[in-house]
Amino acid sequence: MALAVQTTPAEFDPGEVLRSLFSFVRADLDEYSRRLAAIERFLHAKPTVNEVVATLGNDVRAHTAVPAAIYAFLSHHDSYASTVTYAVQLGGDTDTIGPMAGAIAGALHGVEAIPANWRDKLENDGKGRDYVGELAVRLLGRHEWIT
């Protein structure tokens, strides 16, 4: 997510993100390493949804949901809506994978890239749309300590 916040859509490089992710995966986390390698292959091969799900998975377990969200974003990074739509098309635990992919796409593209009709449908009571937007602004203001 940090790389998405620190670059523009025009400068974004999925390969750079993968290299960065590989550098963070511990050797004993074989599940992640294997799935990151599959993501790298998939970015060049354009697999079917079924092939992605068979290889990466799409359930609630972190070692399947996280790679699925990362692939949804990296393979459709040019558009927030395309990223989220593809993440949901992967099926399975869509209410986990979709928001993770959307969060990364949102970090790259900004809130303006979220289709207005999607934003308008968000509830706004208590800790709704405005509250989350305020948190995002506060977090962005502090991002220097994150990077």
pLDDT in tens, 17-34: 998 888 887 666 688 889
Whole-angstrom CA distances from 49 to 77, 109, 138 are: 16, 24, 37
Quick: pLDDT tens for 92-143: 999 999 999 999 999 999 888 999 999 889 899 989 988 988 887 887 775 5
Q: Are residues 126 and 108 in the same domain?
A: no
18-42 burial by CB neighbour count: b if 16+ within 10 A, else e?
A: beebeeeeeeeeebbeebbebbbeb
Does pLDDT of 58 surpass 60? yes
Q: What's the structural domain count of the chain? A: 2
| Same domain flag for 131 and 62 | no
Average pLDDT over residues 48-64: 96
Say which DSSP state 112 is in.
G
Shared-domain flag, residues 138 and 75 = no
Give me the pLDDT at residue 23, please: 84
Q: Which two tokens stand for residue 27?
A: 């050797």
Specify whether 35 is located in the same domain as 63.
yes
Q: Are residues 143 and 90 part of one domain?
A: no
Whether pTM > 0.75 for this model: the answer is: yes
- Tell me the residue range of the domain where 53 lies: 2-114
Q: How far apart are CA 8 and CA 12, in angstroms?
A: 6
Residues 63 and 131 occupy one common structural domain: no
Do 74 and 49 sit in the same domain of this protein? yes
pLDDT reported for residue 29: 63
What is the rounded distance in angstroms from the CA atom of residue 106 to the CA atom of residue 84?
Answer: 10
Does residue 92 sit in the same domain as residue 105? yes
Residue 69's pLDDT band (cuts 50, 70, 90): very high
Is the domain of 9 the same as that of 44? yes
| pLDDT at 86 (0 to 100) | 98
